[in-house]
């Protein structure tokens, strides 16, 4: 399946593979239909020349008790069983559509970069919906690149969790790709990575995975950095910035399900090893006792042992009370990626208490380019980016496609994944890869996002 951006026609091949011994059952989608007001399942099936049962089989959620077809829903439309596989016309909205599948590889367009996307592209669960949004971001980036004269041909496969990716790789088009984005699931990494190595294809692993295939396969570009690696960087940046000038105060939030214990315990061990004094207190301590742990002679930097919103709001309330009785105290806070989600209602506190967030990304929703991309997404797909996901999935796809395709265009044979090669300023997730031994490349970007008291922000890149 091929998508040619010279026609602004986004064509999406969505093929579900279900393992069944050594055979695979393949479903081909004719279209992805957005439900309009007053449309019915009967009417949609009739319009596409398929039976109601075929439409239901393509969308299992429709079979659930109590299901209602709603305006704005996206549903998959299969080919009719009688073999109707006419090519699709360009969609007025620019959304992905599919054409007929061929059994032979399509001929490359001269001068184009051939791209593969092997991710769960479906609407059956959260994984699929996130990856569809990511893929839409990729398509928006490729259309932007087309306007600059950079041509791309795209092949997209739906590779759900239960799929054997080796079946996907039987498609003759797979071996002729220049770069593949995927997979999402760890068990699919090795067979896909081995295939890319054998055929000289670059493999971008966009999200978190288990394993360390990048250490031995030079064709891999792994965006994900492990929690242990990021904790090391966060601790090092904390010490570099604060240990000579600030008094650390750790606040116990009594959160039994905290996910940040590795960072807080690691930081305390480093402070102990360097013989740097710090204080420990509790969010439930009486205010008079709580105040005793802060230094009135130099700035204090607070570390809390929870990433969650209720605990963070408790800390802010505690600090507000503390500032009323001790207005001269200087306070900063060192936080976590998850805090970005709380900006809509905690932004004023972030500025008030000089919050620093160690991160590999930052979603600045008021930046002009970010607002422009979100509007383009809305106009193109008829719905906004999901606010559930941080980082934004569509912007992640957009950034990664822009970075890698620009890099490959400039350095088709020698691209190593450095930011100086790609020359792309990311909207959300910066990328700058470094070689892992004699293996592949891993993103090494790390930054502190600082919310300053003057209501401005700065990114401190390490």
Ranges 261-270, 317-326, 365-374, 395-404: which has the least confidence: 365-374
Residue whose C-alpha is closest to residue 336's, from 313, 312, 319, 318: 312
Q: What's the mean pLDDT when you consider all of the chain?
A: 86
pLDDT tens per residue across span 29-74 = 667 788 888 888 888 988 888 888 888 888 878 888 888 888 888 8
What is the pLDDT, as a whole number, of residue 106? 61
- Number of folded domains that form the chain: 2
262 and 184 part of one domain: no
**Residue 237 is assigned to a structural domain of this protein:** yes
Residues 423-434: tens digit of each pLDDT: 999 999 899 999
Specify if 81 maps to a domain: no
Residue 78 lies in a domain: no
Whether 57 is in a domain gets the answer no
CA distances 121 to 100, 214, 219, 370, Å, are 17, 24, 24, 24
> Averaged over 254-278, what is the pLDDT?
96
In this prediction, residue 382 has a pLDDT band, given cuts at 50, 70 and 90, of confident
Q: Which of 359, 377, 411 is the last residue of a domain?
A: 359
Residue 61 lies inside a defined structural domain of this protein: no
Question: How many CA atoms does the CB half-sphere of 174 hold within 13 Å?
Answer: 23
Output the pTM of the full model: 0.74
Question: Domain with 257 in it: what CATH number?
Answer: 3.40.50.2300
Residue 336, exposed/middle/buried by CB under 10 A (0-12, 13-18, 19+)?
Answer: buried
- Clarify whether residues 4 and 126 are in a common domain: yes
231 pairs with which residues across the strands?
Answer: none
Question: What pLDDT, on a 0 to 100 scale, did the predictor assign at position 29?
Answer: 61
By residue range, what is the domain housing residue 350? 228-359
Q: Are residues 348 and 257 in the same domain?
A: yes
Greater model confidence, 36 or 332: 332
Please give the Cα distance from 126 to 446 (Å, whole number): 28
Same domain, 102 and 211: yes
Q: Please, which pLDDT band fits residue 108 given cuts at 50, 70 and 90?
A: low
E strand or H helix that includes residue 178: none
Q: How far apart are CA 417 and CA 419, in angstroms?
A: 7
Please check whether residues 12 and 133 belong to one and the same domain: yes
Residues 131-170 pLDDT 10s: 999 999 999 999 999 999 999 999 999 999 999 999 999 9
pLDDT per position as a tens digit, 354-375: 999 999 888 777 789 999 999 9
């Amino acid at each position: 399946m091929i998508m040619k951006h010279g026609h602004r026609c986004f064509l999406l091949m969505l093929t579900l593979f279900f393992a069944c011994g050594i055979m695979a059952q393949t479903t081909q989608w004719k279209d992805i239909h957005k439900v309009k007001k007053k449309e019915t399942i009967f009417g949609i099936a009739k319009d596409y020349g398929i039976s109601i049962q075929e439409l239901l089989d393509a969308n299992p959620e429709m079979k659930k008790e109590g299901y209602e077809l709603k305006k704005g829903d996206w549903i998959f439309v299969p080919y009719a069983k009688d073999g109707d596989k006419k090519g699709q016309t360009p969609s007025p909205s620019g959304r992905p559509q599919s054409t007929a599948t061929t059994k032979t590889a399509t001929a490359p367009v001269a001068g184009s970069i051939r791209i593969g996307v092997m991710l769960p592209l479906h609407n059956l669960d959260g994984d699929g919906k996130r990856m569809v949004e990511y893929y839409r971001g990729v398509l928006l980036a490729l259309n932007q690149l087309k306007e600059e004269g950079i041509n791309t041909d795209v092949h997209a496969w739906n590779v759900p969790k239960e799929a054997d990716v080796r079946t996907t790789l039987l498609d003759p088009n797979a071996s002729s790709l220049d770069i593949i984005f995927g997979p999402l699931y760890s068990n699919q990494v090795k067979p896909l990575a081995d295939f890319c190595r054998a055929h000289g294809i670059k493999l971008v692993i966009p999200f978190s995975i288990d394993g360390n295939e990048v250490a031995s396969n030079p064709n891999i570009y792994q965006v994900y950095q492990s929690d242990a690696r990021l904790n090391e960087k966060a601790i090092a940046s904390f010490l570099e910035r604060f240990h000579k000038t600030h008094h650390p105060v750790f606040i116990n939030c009594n959160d039994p399900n905290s996910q940040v214990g590795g960072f807080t315990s690691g930081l305390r061990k480093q402070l102990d090893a360097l013989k740097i004094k710090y204080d420990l207190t509790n969010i439930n301590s009486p205010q008079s006792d709580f105040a005793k742990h802060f230094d009135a002679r130099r700035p204090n930097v607070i570390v809390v042992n929870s990433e969650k919103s209720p605990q963070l709001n408790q800390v802010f309330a505690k600090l507000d009370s503390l500032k009323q009785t001790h207005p001269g105290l200087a306070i900063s806070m060192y936080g976590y990626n998850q805090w970005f989600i709380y900006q809509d209602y905690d932004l004023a506190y972030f500025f008030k208490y000089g919050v620093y967030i160690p991160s590999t990304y930052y979603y600045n929703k008021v930046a002009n380019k970010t607002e422009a991309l979100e509007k383009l997404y809305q106009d193109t797909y008829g719905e906004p980016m999901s606010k559930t996901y941080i980082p934004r999935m569509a912007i992640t796809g957009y950034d990664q496609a822009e970075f890698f395709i620009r890099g490959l265009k400039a350095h088709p044979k020698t691209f190593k994944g450095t930011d100086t090669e790609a020359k792309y300023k990311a909207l959300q997730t910066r990328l700058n890869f470094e070689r892992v031994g004699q293996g592949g490349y891993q993103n090494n970007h790390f930054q502190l996002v600082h919310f300053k008291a003057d209501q401005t922000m700065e990114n401190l890149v390490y």
